[in-house]
Structure 1
Amino acid sequence: IEKTREALEAALRQLRCTFTWQLFKEGRDNGRSLEEKVTDSIGFLCFQSKASGYNLLAYVKCLKGEYQEALSYLKQAEELTQLEHPDQAEIRNLVTWGNYAWLYYHMGQLEDAQAYLDKVAETCRRFASPYRMDCPEMDCEEGWARLKCGKLQAERSKACFERALEDEPDNMELRVGLAISAYCEDVGRSQRRPFTELLRQTIELNPDNFYLKALLALKLQKMNDKTSGEKVMEEVLGRAQAPEVFWVAAIFYRNQGELEKAVELFKKVLDFQPANATLYHQIGCCYRSLAHQLLYKEKQGLLRYPGLPEKVTELREQALESMEKAVELKGCFLNMHTDLAAMYAMLGHSEKAEAIFQKLFRSEQLTDKERQLLYQSYGNFQDYFQGQEEDAIQYYIEGLKIQEDPTKAEKMKSRLQAIAKKQLSQDPASLQGWRLRGFLAKLNGDKELALKCYERALGSRLQHSASGPSWGWSGEARRQKPPGPPTSWVGEFL
């Protein structure tokens, strides 16, 4: 039996299917987090090639050990392939049949696995290949599978569509896939890039693809062509009533600061996906930002009315309710939990916020990027809500030791700079103030300035050794510090 299993696995590894494309980094995500990240991606939201989406979900369900759900998704993928591509169903279903073979292999049903492997082989042999085929249809299937995994696979997805287009340059499905993969690869870049023209050209050939038009509006917005972006998005919403379009439009209006409209659109998507944690979290963030908008306008003298505090509290409570729902639905993203903790703190429930943070610190599955966010968030909690500036400093420093997210790092550095400036304005000989300035100078690569600042700090310590602050963790941080030993700043950074 073992030899049979080994031989079967060797044959399975030759297949072109979701199980062999190495779509995710091993050990980075568990099955639950993969499912949520996949279904919320721009590529997955695209209505085209839904069969690829079901194949991908079947793979994720298999990783979670939910085999019956995986079988159900494969059945839907097979049926959809027949509907979407009746003339190419036999070739395109090679992916689904290969997935069936792998799934049954993992279930220990080796005869069923062999039956599907034979089914693949029978089709491939007709095209002079034992277990795999290299053709535009298979490149297209792989392209959609990678695209629906999110932006980390966008470059390889784009390469699949480009390769297929070499043989079928007029294939509209391939053009659409290429345009969306190029968009996903381009996410975060604000300048005009060749991809924008590719998107426009694809829309000209396929003018009723409102999803592509919504992505174009979003890209125009990021390029600071907001007027054109608004015009395109208004046209899209006037003609399309699809959840994937509503989702992109909600992001568009959220970015514009039109938060009430964003909430309305996110809620429209909820009608189609009522158990989506990300949607609830996005709605919560919009309510939180609406409260911030009101407070900012009041501070600037742009808004005055007696019921403002009550309205702000109402919006924050709505934000809390939505964020609680996101976590209740097992939302996998760390910021769902840190945002919920911050909202508890904002509404005066510090003990609930503390409990969330301590649970997160005990997690052994956090990536470096997630740990950096956790240190920053807990530092903010100590800083703004607990009044524990010394403890906040220590958590910011721990976060800055992790070089993952430059934006978060700059925010922590900015806060430490503000704390140092305040402390030195209150006491020019402040030990803590000079230590912070030395630490920040070192981070910025100015060793000479760092040395001078640390010398001033050591001088202050000698003068105030009897009453000066501790060099290690203090207060609550000493009792409930994150993993890793506290260190002397001078010893570590000089």
Structure 2
Amino acid sequence: GVDQPDDLGYNFKMKALEYHFTWGIMKGDIKELDSLPEKLLDRIMRFITPKYHATYFNLLAFLSHLEGNNVSALEYLHKSESVLKDRQDDTELLVTYANFAWVHYHSGNLDDVDNYIGKLENINKAFPSALNIQGSLPSVHGEKGWSLIRLGDIFYRRVKESFQKALEGEPDNASFNVGYALVLYRLEGMVKNKRVSSVMTAAANQLRKALSLEPDNSELMVLLALKLKKNQENKLESMKLIKEALRLSPDVPHVLSYVAKYFKNEGSINESLQVLGKALELAPNSHFLHHQIGLCHKQQLIQMFEQKRKGGQVKVGQIKAKVEVCICHFSRAVDLKPSNIHARVNLAEAYGNNYQLEEAMKIFTVEDKSHNIHTRGQFKNAYQIPNESWDRKQAGKRLKQIAERWQLENYISTIISSLSLALPFPFPHLKKIVTSYKTEHSNKKIKNSSAIVLTLKKTYYKDSGNCYSCCYSLGLMF
């Protein structure tokens, strides 16, 4: 921006206003800053109702200014003003006008700054005299909540506070109730280990209230359905909500993704994949959809392992193919959103199932060429989830498991040579079997390899055509 002399007190006036530039939003805290504008525009063009367009245009203007593009910022602000011009409540223009003043100030357009500050003062005159009246208006708190919720989970607690303040002034405002319901749902999802057993959580109650005020909001329907399905008595109601949401929004990706999550949680993996596939056609670059598809295939992979454990016939090729599908979608999810730690953990697990332990390690560490990073402690420090949550703890557990498997590499490499020399025949899957054996006996030290060699020899002579039978005789799964 352009630095201006502050002899007329512009800087003081700018900082006294309530808007995006005084809400303490740090550029580094915004998730996926590069791709966020495209996502917001896509929502405006295809999915969200017009009454939310002004909020999105304001946010786009803020992001444009952060990137140094004030021309684009002003264009978005004019669009926001155009959307709001027919609203009966002039206070909804306060944040837009404050943003105008800020961008013009940093562009050196002081006449325009005076113009918009004047507009702000005229709106405030309609209210009883008070210091910083703008900061106490429900419309401003609501705009703040809707803006921050789009920037990532690090802002969710502030979002909750903003909507609470907005609802104190307008308890039956549909927009504020919807925003409050969404943030409560997301916050409860971040602390799964502290959830109460009853489905009637604060989020569930708020979702019901918001839905009563916006009865055609399909996103609220699917979120409430996800809450209700935890209680058998509410299964019929939850399924009714899912069907109605599909009827109202058959082509809205983020609604379809929640529907798919519902079916996946119900064990209907194929149905979930069908819904996700349709959503992916509409939004092929959605990291969330690729991640959810990967999780469905992961669930099917777990079912294969369970079937195999119980003695069922599962071909090795089927398992390998399923693992590769998991890797494909988790990898795409990570590429599209590198900050998605959960997708990274899932990708590392998939690589582990495919015995690509080095690839799993690379996901979480930037390897120093002069130091091999392979200790559990170093690996544990390589992952970061900003908020303390159940998901973070689970990620930590799984990463430790991957790290332990990584630590096996050095040990396994030392015994592979001795095993290869001890066996009177070539064995192409020797490393895989030794890895599996050591993983299954991770708490024991294998002091010599004679037991493994003996088992391999016996199995080889019994069925030389199926090297994987060795694993069955050892009681191993891979």
How does the TM-score come out when normalised to structure 1? 0.63
Asked if 1:100 is matched to 2:100, the reply is: yes
2:333 to 326, 332, 338: 326
SS state of the match for residue 328, structure 1?
helix
Is the contact between residue 284 and residue 322 of structure 1 (CA under 8 Å) also seen in structure 2? yes
Q: For 2:181 and 2:393, locate their aligned partners in 1 and report how far apart those are by CA, in whole Å.
A: 34
Please say if residues 382 and 389 of structure 1, whose CA atoms lie closer than 8 Å, have aligned partners that are also in contact. Answer: no
- Work out whether 1:236 is the aligned partner of 2:238: no
User: Is the CA contact (8 Å cut-off) linking 2:138 and 2:170 kept in structure 1?
Assistant: yes
Aligned to 2:408: 387
Distance 1:206 1:196 in 2: 15
Corresponding residue number in structure 2 for 1:219: 227
Residue of structure 1 aligned with 2:20, choices 18, 24, 44: 18
Alignment partner, residue 51 of structure 1: 54
- Asked if structure 2 preserves the Cα contact closer than 8 Å seen for 1:136 and 1:167, the reply is yes
For 2:106 and 2:233, the matched residues in 1 are separated by: 51
Query: Structure 1 382/269 Cα, relative in aligned 2: closer, same or farther at 3 Å?
Result: same
Identical counterparts, % of pairs: 25
Structure 2 equivalent of residue 29 of structure 1? 29
User: Following superposition of structure 1 onto structure 2, how do residues 131-170 of structure 1 map, counting pairs within 5 Å?
Assistant: 133=134, 134-149=136-151, 153-154=155-156, 156-170=158-172
Determine if contact 1:124/1:132 at 8 Å carries over to the other structure.
Answer: yes
1:118-197 equivalences under 5 Å are 118-127=118-127, 133=134, 134-149=136-151, 153-154=155-156, 156-187=158-189, 188=192, 189-190=195-196, 191=198, 192-197=200-205
* Structure 2 CA distance for aligned equivalents of residues 221 and 161 of structure 1: 27
After superposition, the C-alpha distances for 1:8-35 in whole angstroms (9 at most, x for unaligned) are: 222111112122223x5x5863563696
Distance (whole Å) between structure 1 residues aligned to residue 18 and residue 256 of structure 2? 34
Separation (CA, whole Å) in 2 of partners of 1:203 and 1:349 = 47
* Aligned equivalent of 1:264: 274
Normalised by the length of structure 2, the TM-score is: 0.65
2:84 aligns with 81
Q: State the shift of 1:98 in Å.
A: 1.7
Q: CA RMSD of the aligned region, Å?
A: 4.5
Could you tell me whether the CA contact under 8 Å between 1:124 and 1:131 is conserved in 2? no
Instruction: Tell me if structure 2 keeps the 8 A contact 1:291–1:312.
Output: yes
* SS of residue in 1 equivalent to 2:215: coil
Shift of 1:205: 4.7
- Cα distance in 1 for partners of 2:357, 2:305 equals 22
Structure 1 residue 225, shift from structure 2 partner: 5.4
SS of 2:29's partner is coil
Q: How does 1:295-334 map to 2 (within 5 A)?
A: 295-301=305-311, 304=313, 308-334=315-341
Query: 2-side partners of 1:160 and 1:330: how far apart?
Result: 27
Whether the 8 Å CA contact 1:203–1:213 is kept in 2: the answer is yes
Q: Secondary structure at the match of 1:3?
A: coil
> Which of 283, 287, 300 in structure 2 is aligned with 1:290?
300
Match of 1:49, SS? helix
Residue identity opposite 1:7 in structure 2:
G
Report the equivalent of 1:478. Answer: none
- Matched residues in 2 for 1:237 and 1:12: separation? 46
Aligned mates of 1:63, 1:186 — CA distance in 2: 31
Structure 2 letter corresponding to 1:124: N
Helix, strand or coil for the counterpart of 2:121?
A: helix
Q: Match for 1:422 among 430, 443, 448?
A: 443
CA 1:379–1:156 in 2, change beyond 3 Å: closer, same or farther?
Answer: closer
Within 2, Cα distance between the matches of 1:349 and 1:6? 64
- Secondary structure at the aligned position of 1:275 is classed as coil
Alignment size in residue pairs: 390
Segments of 5+ residues of structure 1 without an aligned counterpart are: 392-417, 428-494
Provide Cα deviations, 1:297-350, integer angstroms capped at 9, x if missing partner: 33235x546xx4323322222222223323333532234344334433433444
* Cα displacement string for residues 237-266 of structure 1 (whole angstroms, at most 9, x for unaligned residues): 244323332132222223333333333333
1:276 equivalenced with 2:282 (yes/no): no
Cα 1:79–1:419, aligned 2, differ >3 Å: closer, same or farther?
Answer: farther
Contact persistence 1:5–1:110 (CA under 8 A): no
CA pair 185-6 structure 1, distance change in 2 beyond 3 A: farther
The answer (yes or no) to whether the contact 1:278–1:331 under 8 Å persists in 2 is: no
Q: CA deviation at 1:215?
A: 1.4
Q: SS at 1:203's partner residue?
A: helix
In structure 2, do the counterparts of structure 1 residues 39 and 321 end up closer, same or farther at CA, with 3 Å as the change threshold?
same
The question of 1:347 aligning with 2:354 is answered yes
2: CA distance, partners of 1:65 / 1:372: 38
Aligned to 2:432: none
Displacement of 1:217 after TM fit? 0.5
Shift of 1:79: 3.8
In 2, the alpha carbon distance for the partners of 1:78 and 1:151 equals: 28
Contact 1:35 1:57 in 2 (8 A): no
